[in-house]
Amino acid sequence: MTASQPPTTADELRGAGLRVTAARVALLETVRHGDHLDVEAIASGVRERVGHISLQAVYDALHALTTAKLIRRIEPAGSPARFEGRVGDNHHHVLCRSCGAVADVDCAVGDAPCLTASDDHGYAIDEAEVIYWGLCPACSTASSS
């Protein structure tokens, strides 16, 4: 790999101290090319790329990749866990109450100010998770007609 080439998925896995397998590469790429996918959608995407993989193997790989901070897990109340490839920033999400669509929302006030709690109770805060709820444009239009 030369300095001008971005790291490959395998390089990123190695750099995170993870063993490189076809399933892990496929899973990481599926999450990164998806849109806040749930476990079933990720398993389906991995199977399209590498063939059979058990659901337990998908859960195990998701756990390893999340722990290594290569992917992010979000858990909206009342919804299945979702996974995304956007990591390393403190962005938030907006969810549709009707269809379950999810979109990224950048921090409402810039970089770190959204990490300033009104009372931090002595905690060293390093992440804030905000979920905005409402109706997406398609569901809003459908409910008003």
Q: What is the pLDDT of residues 17-52, one digit of tens each?
A: 999 999 999 999 999 999 999 999 999 999 999 999
pLDDT for position 74: 94
- Phi/psi for 94 (5° steps) reads -120, 130
Q: What is the pLDDT of residues 79-89, one digit of tens each?
A: 899 999 999 88
Say how far apart CA 49 and CA 26 lie, in whole Å: 6
> Residue 56 — very low, low, confident or very high, per pLDDT cuts 50/70/90?
very high
Q: Does residue 2 register a pLDDT over 80?
A: no
pTM exceeds 0.85, yes or no: no
pLDDT for position 110: 47
Say how far apart CA 53 and CA 82 lie, in whole Å: 19
Q: Cβ–Cβ contacts within 10 Å for residue 31, how many?
A: 28
Say how far apart CA 82 and CA 73 lie, in whole Å: 6
The arithmetic mean of pLDDT across residues 67-74, rounded, is 96
> Strand 72-74 vs strand 82-84: parallel, antiparallel, or unpaired?
antiparallel
pLDDT for position 3: 62
pLDDT averaged over every residue in the chain: 89
Of 33, 29, 54, the residue nearest 43 (C-alpha): 54
24: three-class secondary structure by DSSP: helix
